Chain A
Amino acid sequence: MAEVEETLKRIQSQKGVQGVIVVNSEGIPIKSMVDNSTTVQYAGLMHSFIMKAKSTVRDIDPQNDLTFLRICSKKNEIMIAPDKDYFLIVIQNLTE
């Protein structure tokens, strides 16, 4: 339990990180460092996106699997680390 907290705190303290969200496989946000409405929005949107990306990778090569997903946009970068049951979503500002 404490390790989880420590890990998430360490991630949060990195330079440029705006928010950290942990979502389970059903799309329910378990832990979040941002406000509720943003959390819900991200959880809902990212979930379908991750599923699509995962299935795409598997379609191209069934023995392949998605390890990491990065969405770079003009203002920030959304990084998603997927797992079988949970996703870790981090929003980071691009360094100048």
Chain B
Amino acid sequence: MEIVYVYVKKRSEFGRQCNFSDRPAEINVDIQPDPGLTANFIERDPIDAGIQCASDMSEHEVNTERFEMENAGVNHLEGGWPKDVNPLEMEQTIRFRKKVEKDENYVYTIIQLGSLMEHCIKQNNAINIYEEYFEEEETADVADEPPSAKTINVFRDPNVIKRTATHLSWHPDGSKKLAVAYSSLEFQRSSKDMSYDSYIWDLENPNKPELVLRPSSPLVSLEYNPKDSHILVGGCYNGQIAYWDTRKGGQPVELSTVEFSHRDPVYGTIWLQSKTGTDCFSASTDGQVLWWDIRKLTEPTETLVMDISRKGVLENALGAIALEFEPTMPTKFMVGTEQGVVITCNRKAKTPAEKIVGTFSGHHGPIYALARNPFFPKNFLTVGDWTARIWSEDSKESSIMWTKYHMAYLTDGCWSTIRPAVFFTTKMDGTLDVWDFLFKQNNPSLNVKVCDEPLFSLRLQDNGRFIGCGSKRGTVTLLEVSSGICTLQRNEKNLAMAMFERETKREKILEARHREMRLKERTKAEGKEEDVKVETEEETPEELLARVQKEFFEIIEAEIRRKERAAKLSKPQAKEITDENEDEDEDPYKEE
């Protein structure tokens, strides 16, 4: 359709100045929408499509097969000179150079390049383009970043027959080396060809271990001496203790005598704080804890039998799996046993009976890891069966906090050295969990699948950033956690302290109630034995229900009031109330 507007003008009026005048708006063309045209179009859902005016590229990844590499150096001497020029002879080289300098091309080229070069040099001198502009500004708070862990390096067992990496120990200064103890913990599963060696790995070189330790029996545990970084002590599968000096090579400097050693694999060895720096103690499932001075490994300096009846009878002793020792409390130590009991001991007690101070039971299976919180030594973490539990020394009946029951067995755990409420655990399904108890208690903050085989051991480096995990097939994975997990949050210490205190108080109250109720029951049972029949006829089911309900609600009210008072002091509350309600639920029904 053509839109045309025709107007007529006199020739004499051309070139005249324009007289503009206002007039109302006129509709020149009005094209109404024609619904009939919609038949020519197909309606489509609006889509958002991004277009970029750039060439199409595709991404390809290539991964080569792993092969062994070795570094070698080559020394180059001067070369490149043409055949007739001997580089060692000054005259010939000078003559050659003079010849080149006479070349016209040379002159031209150098002048060209010279001007180009001068430009860049002057640029450099004018302004430093690599200047650091915002050095003083601190990076923004990255607390919102979700926690993550990245694998840095993987150290594989070089032997054909893979053994479990049972224990890891970081080098005391700088943590550039990792000592790993390898052994096969499965009963009678070790074949004749299995190598007994354990390795010290240098973090930079995952292809070849830095040092090979050759004990006479596979090592189950291995620890660096925190005072002298060349000395390591290892506990063997056959119960002996051996110590190495890395300056002297892979053979143990001394081995303990078989008669006086343990009768079962030595699961825990820890160095003690002493002036000589040569004291250590070891624990094994044969029920003994032995103290050694490595200068004289022929016999232990002290022994202690883990018999909780305090009679020192070896047959009743509980097998010890985990050892714990805190250098700030040199006389106390804790032992985690196969039977799920934690025994606290005092080394300085006069008689062996007094040495065992107390017990904590709560796990259904062996306690594989035992660690005190580095910030609050009164609280310690135990890892065993399918849960990890946090205990307080004051509350002996049960743990103050615990994780839920997992699907896989927990094998090892440790506290973070930087954040008081963070700890790490490894499981049999090959995952590493990072728990932040101030943030979330029902689930780990981060769950990382490290490998397909079960993880057996875990060790955090002293700076809290790197974790080494050892697996069943001998693969040690080095992970780096994100900065959110290893930087201390604001006010965290106070919050963690408040949380531990609160939970301890709660447990104490529950303990007190339990004791009260047990006492009541006992007196009731004694006094009312004859009137039992009469009692049941008097109270109808409805009355009983009403009474129980009333009591239940009274208890809840009391708890809520107490909680509200405590809530003014600290933050995460909601879970505590529900937890305690669940606990309170059981009590009224027990009374019946």
Contact = CB atoms under 8 A, between A and B. Distances in A.
A3 interface: yes
B120 interface: yes
Interface stretch (B44-52, B58-66, B75-83, B549-557): B75-83
A74 to B, nearest CB: 10
B121 A14 contact: yes
B111 A7 contact: yes
B151 interface: no
Interface in B105-154: 105-107, 109-118, 120-122, 124-125, 128, 130
Interface stretch (B94-102, B539-547, B582-590): B94-102
A31 B125 contact: no
B120 A68 contact: yes
B128 A26 contact: no
A4 B116 CA distance: 14
B114 A11 contact: yes
B117 A26 contact: no
Nearest to B97: A30
Contacts of A24: 100
A95 B112 contact: no
B227 to A, nearest CB: 36
A88 B78 contact: no
A55 to B, nearest CB: 19
Given A26-B80, A40-B78, A14 B107 contact: no
A95 B101 contact: no
A86 B118 contact: no
Q: Which of A1, A10, A30 has most chain B Cβ within 10 Å? A: A30
B105 A85 contact: yes
Q: Decide if the interface of chain B is mainly helix, strand, loop or mixed.
A: helix
B246 to A, nearest CB: 33
Given A4-B107, A8-B110, A86-B113, A94 B81 contact: no
A70 B120 contact: yes
Contacts of B116: 67-68, 81
A95 B110 contact: no
Nearest to B115: A7
Contacts of B118: 10-11, 14
A96 B121 CA distance: 14
Given A8-B110, A22-B110, A81-B116, A1 B102 contact: yes
A7 B114 contact: yes
Contact of A94 (B76, B97, B102, B130): B130
A19 to B, nearest CB: 12
A50 interface: no
Contact of A11 (B76, B105, B106, B117): B117
Given A30-B97, A72-B130, A3 B111 contact: yes
Contacts of B97: 30-31
The contact size tier of chain B is 20 to 34
Contacts of A95: 124-125, 128
Contacts of A17: 121
Given A81-B113, A86-B113, A31 B130 contact: no
Contacts of B79: 27, 44
Interface string A71-90: 01000010101011111101
Nearest to A41: B76
A28 interface: yes
Given A16-B124, A40-B78, A8 B109 contact: no
B80 A81 contact: no
B81 A90 contact: no
B114 A30 contact: no
B76 A44 contact: yes
A25 B115 CA distance: 20
A96 B132 CA distance: 11
A16 B128 CA distance: 12
Given A72-B130, A94-B130, A4 B113 contact: no
Nearest to A77: B124
- Residue among A4, A68, A70, A77 with the most chain B CB within 10 A? A4
A8 B109 CA distance: 12
A64 to B, nearest CB: 15
B117 A90 contact: yes
A8 B113 contact: no
B114 A10 contact: yes
Name, among B97, B110, B130, the residue most crowded by chain A CB atoms within 10 Å (CB to CB): B110
Given A4-B111, A40-B78, A86-B106, A81 B117 contact: yes
A32 to B, nearest CB: 10
Contacts of B100: 24, 30
B128 A28 contact: no
Given A1-B101, A26-B80, A11 B109 contact: no
A28 B124 contact: no
B101 to A, nearest CB: 7
**CB-based closest 9 A-B pairs:** A7-B114, A81-B113, A88-B113, A27-B80, A14-B121, A4-B110, A81-B117, A15-B125, A83-B109
Interface of A: 1, 3-4, 7-8, 10-11, 14-17, 22, 24, 26-28, 30-31, 40, 43-44, 67-68, 70, 72, 77, 79, 81, 83-88, 90, 92, 94-96
9 contacts: A4-B111, A11-B114, A27-B79, A28-B81, A77-B124, A83-B109, A86-B113, A88-B114, A94-B128
